[in-house]
Amino acid sequence: MSDSQRFPVAAHTLAYLAHRNAYSREQAVSSSILAASIPTNPVVIRRMTTQLAKAGLVATCSGVAGGAWLLKRPEQIRLDEVLRAVNGCAHLGSAPVGAKGCPVSQAIPRAVNDAMQLANAAASTSLSRITVADLLKHVGETSEVCPAEKIPA
């Protein structure tokens, strides 16, 4: 998965787990169901949930009956935590090392890296005001069943 997709996939994963009320091992949602909701490959989801687990946001269990579940309520999961769990604004890249002897090449990489740190801080500040519960407010009330929920567990 590209770096630019890590945060949206992570946020979607957490929102889907909250939507499914997955708060215990017995309520775990499989990577195939999560992947169908996004849509992406289950391997992408397993990698993502590993990162989210390291951040203390979800727990996972592998195997045929495996899956992921939330360790926090959606009101307690701020999107800046999610951003940090997937390595921040990594999709902005990093400045290449400059050519020796060129004054521009010697100064610009540090200046670009400083700018990217400012962007990451600004994103984190903005996202700290939004929770997974806030994302779920955009899910309309409907009787329709998500196609992902039709996949056998």
Q: Tell the residue number behind the tokens 């360790």, with chain if given.
A: 71
Q: Residue 114 has what pLDDT?
A: 87
Burial status of residue 22 (CB atoms within 10 A of its CB: 0-12, 13-18, 19 or more): buried
Average pLDDT over residues 115-122: 86
DSSP letter (8 states) at residue 131 = B
| Residue 143: pLDDT over 60 | no
| Residue 51: pLDDT over 60 | yes
Q: Tell the residue number behind the tokens 């929920």, with chain if given.
A: 149
Average pLDDT, the chain: 86
Query: Does 31 or 95 have the greater pLDDT score?
Result: 31
| Residue 153: pLDDT over 60 | no
CA–CA dist 109, 92 (Å, integer): 13
Tokens of 94: 């990093």
Task: Say whether domain 3-91+131-150 belongs to CATH 1.10.10.10.
Answer: yes
Q: Residue 61 has what pLDDT?
A: 92
Average pLDDT over residues 11-32: 95
Residues 53-100 pLDDT 10s: 999 999 999 887 789 999 999 999 999 999 999 886 655 666 677 777
Grade residue 147 by pLDDT with cuts at 50, 70 and 90.
low
Q: Residue 36 has what pLDDT?
A: 92
Q: Residue 123 has what pLDDT?
A: 85
Q: Residue 1 has what pLDDT?
A: 53
Positive or negative, the CA dihedral 64, 56, 123, 75 is positive
Contact 69, 28 (CB under 8 A): yes
